[in-house]
Amino acid sequence: MGEQPDYFVKSAEKTLAVLLAFNAAHKSLTVTEVAGAIGVSRAAARRFLLTLVDLGYLEVEGSAYRQTPRVLDIGASYLAGLTLPQVARPHLQALANRLSETTSLCVLDDQDILYVERISNPRLHSMTVSIGNRLPAWATSMGRVLVAELPEAAREEFLNNAKLQHYTAKTVSSIDELRAELDTVREQGWSLVAQELDEGLRGLAVPVYRGAQLLGALNVSVQPGRIGSASITDEMLPLMRQAAIDIADDFGGRTAEQN
């Protein structure tokens, strides 16, 4: 590579390189990992990281750093004409048509999930929700995916504030049981909730990432008696994960393979 022009600011290049080092495969990075990724000393990497923490673009927990939603501001002007529901809708529609089930996109808002887009299947079921509706995050597959992906401190804060309620005979019964379920969801990358919020209804959810940022959760609501739990994950998970990637890519995201 030739010499850089006189105006070139090397620190600006390195700052952007730090932000781009984070992606779906590397959501948390240590000082050493960042130093190796951008080719600087640990001391220099630490200065870049702490500066970005002070500016609100990164957060630190122990020795690990993560991006915050503020990084989305960098591309805000380019994406100003796009909204996540608009981008997600054709993908949710295609998935609903493929599976003949209801599909949704939700975000986490404090202790609730908020529906931002939903494509209903003609089959009727006892639970009717619309865009803008809220449900308790701890009792839904979407909520568990979103809470499981939170940093540990934020996840514990959520659990400390959660108010469990007995909806059905299968509703999770304790915070310890819920914490164990969240650990499983975080490890496997998806959540299946069966008849905990509504009798007979099962929900399968996967996270939707834009780069290293969690945009929301994609959900398929499965009617009772259609297929067993094992068949749900075998049939639906690959299609849902691809739809989540497609939504993120259309919204300006980059898959882990591209980083």
pLDDT digits (tens, 9 = 90+) for 54-70: 999 999 999 999 998 88
- Same-domain pairing of 65 and 129: no
Residue 5 lies in a domain: no
- Same-domain pairing of 102 and 65: no
Q: pLDDT value at position 217?
A: 96
Q: pLDDT value at position 122?
A: 56
Q: pLDDT value at position 126?
A: 46
pTM, 2 dp: 0.64
- Same-domain pairing of 66 and 119: no
Range of the domain at 113: 82-258
3-class secondary structure per residue, the chain: CCCCCCCCCHHHHHHHHHHHHCECCECCECHHHHHHHHCCCHHHHHHHHHHHHHCCCEEEECCEEEECHHHHHHHHHHHCCCCHHHHHHHHHHHHHHHHCCEEEEEEEECCEEEEEEEECCCCCCCCCCCCCCEEEHHHCHHHHHHHHCCCHHHHHHHHHHCCCCCCCCCCCCCHHHHHHHHHHHHHHCCEEEECCCCCCCEEEEEEEEECCEEEEEEEEEECCCCCCHHHHHHHHHHHHHHHHHHHHHHCCCCCHHHC
> Tens of pLDDT along 40-55?
999 999 999 999 999 9
> Tens of pLDDT along 130-171?
777 888 999 999 999 999 999 999 999 999 999 998 888 888
Output the domain CATH number for residue 229.
3.30.450.40
Q: pLDDT value at position 21?
A: 92
As for how many domains the chain has, the answer is: 2
Please state which of the ranges 48-52, 164-168, 176-180, 222-226 shows the lowest mean pLDDT.
222-226
Q: pLDDT value at position 181?
A: 94
Report for 140-144, 207-211, 255-259: range of highest mean pLDDT: 140-144
Query: Domain boundary at 51, 76, 101, which?
Result: 76
Q: pLDDT value at position 230?
A: 60
- Same-domain pairing of 93 and 22: no
Instruction: For the chain, give the percent of residues with pLDDT over 90.
Output: 54
- Same-domain pairing of 66 and 41: yes
Average confidence score pLDDT of the chain: 86
Residue 46 lies in a domain: yes
